[in-house]
Structures are given as structure tokens and as C-alpha cells.
Amino acid sequence: MDRKLLFFDIDGTLLDEEKQLPASTKAAVAELQEAGHYVAIATGRAPFMFSHLRGELGIHTFVSFNGSYVEFEGKAVYKRALNPEALRELTQTAEANDHPVVYLDHMDMKANVPHHPHIEESLNSLKFDHPEQDESYLHGRDIFQSLLFCVDGEEEPYKEKFGQFDFIRWHDVSTDVLPTGGSKAVGIEAVMNELGMTKDDVYVFGDGPNDVEMLSFTKNSVAMGNSVPEALEAAAMKTAHVNDRGIEKALKQFGLIK
């Protein structure tokens, strides 16, 4: 068969606005797998944040942290951590500004403060609790992403000072801190290399600003009906809203499911 490689974003693509997996999406993914296609996830989330979803869908390959950590069949095939010296300096700057920081590796996340309402508000929107405090968590391990908690506009001085990092706002009070120049497309290439596939074999589905690079990466790209304007512009086609069987409808249009 003509096997394809499909990548799905999570929030707003696989999961609806209530962070629930629509039954139509679960069934469509299962049909893809039964037909022999290779299904993977491409997300800005940390791996431990979607382990349950991977189990529910039977998916063992993923691009996480917007491309900074990639696993293929349970084996890490690409890693790009934050510069540790620059991260320590960023932490010092953030502490002076009363901006808390959370550190994430592929296993867990820890905060540099015992509690902060901005941490609680933003992570609760993803259905996660406030992480425990461990100021030493950034030492002696690869940190693939940090979260800087500040309101819109307050990240600008950090952008000017820390050229090693990309700052991507994902919540009113929180900004992702990632290695500069990374993207989901970079992680997708790592999986392609493992499977010996080309761009023509790759299909991607997304809805957010962090999906733009991967939506531009292949001609087989789909923006959900609930997508931001940048994603709609980058994608080759638009499907229905995540709540209106968007994934199922696009896969049928491609002829990948019945």
C-alpha cells in the first residue's frame, strides 16, 4: 500500500475546546492505523502532558516541545535543549522582575517559586496543577522548554537580551521559552528520516501559531476551521471546526479513510 505519515497537533486539533477527544477523531485515527498509515503527534506540550492521549490513541511517535524533543517508537531520535547558562541568567532576570519560571524536561516540570497565581491560571487552562517548587531543577539535566510568566508585552526585554531563545506567547500570562529557530517541521523531518519517507508522504493538521512552520512544510497540510489566521494562510486546505468532525472530513477528502 501507499503508506502515509500523519502528524496531528493536540490542542484545538485532536482535542476540542474542552480538552476532550471527539469520538469521530478517535475513530478516524483508528481507521488510519488499521489501513497501515503511520500516525504521530506534533505538539508544543511536554511528553508527560499527553501520555494518556498517546495511550488512548495507540500512538508511540511524537514531536514535542514544538520540535525540541522527538521520540520514534519510544526511542528519542532528536533532542535540542535550552542553553543552560543562558537559562540560569534568564532565571535571575525573571526573579528580579518578579516573573516566575517553570522548567520542563521530557519527564516532569518544576517551578522556581512555591506558588504564583499566573502559573496556576495558565496551567489550569490545560488541566494541569501548579507544579512543585524545585529551584535546582534546571541544573544537571536537559531542559527542553521553560515557561516565563508575565503579561503581554513584558517579554519584550527578554527577547532583546536572550537571542538564544524564542519567546512564544500561548496564554495571557505565560510565554514559552524555546531554543531559537526550532519548529515542529524540524521534528517531523527527524521522523521522516527514521521511516525513509519524503514530504510527499507527510500530512499535517494544526490550528495555532506554532503550527505555521509544519503547515508550510508539506503540500498535504490542513488547518482546522477554528484556526488562527496565520495557520489558515500557511495551510494548503481548510477543514471544518474541531467540534464539527474536522479531522474526519479532511481525511475523507484525501481518500485516506472511508
Phi, psi (rounded to 5 degrees) for 234: -80, -25
CA dist 98 and 120 (Å) reads 15
Active-site hit among 2, 9, 98, 211: 9
Provide CB contacts within 8 A for 158, sequence distance 6+: 90, 93, 94, 148, 165, 167
Beta bridge partners of 130: none
Task: Give Cα separations from 43 to 56, 63, 64, 206, 224 (angstroms).
Answer: 16, 6, 5, 9, 15
Angle in degrees, CA 19, 61, 144, rounded to 5: 75
pLDDT single digits (tens) 113-137: 999 999 999 999 988 999 999 999 9
DSSP class per residue in 207-251: -SGGGHHHHHH-SSEEE-TT--HHHHHHSSEE---GGGTHHHHHH
pLDDT single digits (tens) 3-22: 999 999 999 999 999 999 99
Query: For each of the chain's 258 residues, which pLDDT tens digit applies?
Result: 699 999 999 999 999 999 999 999 999 999 999 999 999 999 999 999 999 999 999 999 999 999 999 999 999 999 999 999 999 999 999 999 999 999 999 999 999 999 999 999 999 998 899 999 999 999 999 999 999 999 999 999 999 999 999 998 889 999 999 999 999 999 999 999 999 999 999 999 999 989 999 999 999 999 999 999 999 999 999 999 999 999 999 999 999 999
CA dist 230 and 244 (Å) reads 21
Task: Read off the C-alpha cell for 21.
Answer: 477527544
pTM, entire model: 0.93
User: Is 9 a catalytic site residue?
Assistant: yes
Which domains does the chain show, CATH number per domain? Answer: 5-79+182-254 (3.40.50.1000), 84-179 (3.30.1240.10)
Task: Read off the C-alpha cell for 29.
Answer: 485515527
Q: Which has the closest alpha carbon to 125: 44, 18, 225?
A: 18
